[in-house]
Chain A
Amino acid sequence: SQKIEQNSEALNIQEGKTATLTCNYTNYSPAYLQWYRQDPGRGPVFLLLIRENEKEKRKERLKVTFDTTLKQSLFHITASQPADSATYLCGLPGSSASKIIFGSGTRLSIRP
């Protein structure tokens, strides 16, 4: 069955550094991959989508890569700020194309 793995351990980094989060998946070949941000008690908010034919996508301080051979996406936040502290979810389309399946998320904490 489709499986999405994100580092379940929290990531703590110093303000100003680059945060890198990992999403690995197995048992399918998604046409795209999405990243969402979730703050405590709030709904997920879409950040970026990258398609299988794209190696890299950027949006302001965010950068996403997608390696379909490794079955992995990396999510980078450059010049990180305490306001970037949140849980980041990796989402992939289900095989039926009528849902997005999410990983368990990685909690990121940026310390001043």
Chain B
Amino acid sequence: EPEVTQTPSHQVTQMGQEVILRCVPISNHLYFYWYRQILGQKVEFLVSFYNNEISEKSEIFDDQFSVERPDGSNFTLKIRSTKLEDSAMYFCASSERTTFSGNTIYFGEGSWLTVV
């Protein structure tokens, strides 16, 4: 079964450093998402992306965050200057169509980011 793949699975970084989390969505999917889950908390929406632009972003997704689809397969999340509170599991997800129609979102296994 097709799956969303994410790298790295775990990254430790120093506060203030830039981090790029990478994702390969399912190949025929057109809608891409990043979610975040702080340890013990809920899965929170960060950003959705379609047709090479952001569809929607949450309040969490401030100027320190950016997303990019640099080629036909990868989808990246960049955190420009990491803070301690950015420590979390980051999930990439994709869907074939918009969530408006009730389309299923498929999640990757996550990238665990630890900021020290």
Report which A residues bind B (CB closer than 8 A).
31-32, 34, 38, 41-46, 49, 51, 89, 91, 93-94, 96-105
Contact = CB atoms under 8 A, between A and B. Distances in A.
Contact of B42 (A42, A45, A93, A103): A103
Given A97-B99, A101-B45, A49 B110 contact: no
B91 to A, nearest CB: 5
Contact of A97 (B91, B100, B112): B100
B43 A98 contact: no
Given A31-B100, A100-B105, 8 more contacts: A32-B102, A38-B43, A43-B91, A94-B56, A97-B99, A99-B45, A99-B99, A104-B41
A44 B56 contact: no
A29 to B, nearest CB: 14
Contacts of B89: 41
Nearest to A46: B104
Interface of B: 4, 31, 33, 41-45, 48, 50, 55-56, 89, 91, 93, 98-100, 102, 104-110, 112
B43 A93 contact: no
Contacts of A102: 42-45
A9 to B, nearest CB: 14
A42 B109 CA distance: 5
Count chain B CB atoms within 10 A of each CB in A41, A43, A96, A100 and give the residue with the most.
Answer: A43
A75 B98 CA distance: 24
Contacts of B45: 94, 99-102
A100 to B, nearest CB: 6
A99 B31 CA distance: 10
A47 to B, nearest CB: 10
A44 B104 contact: no
Cβ-closest 3 pairs across A and B: A97-B100, A43-B107, A98-B55
Contacts of A94: 45, 56, 99
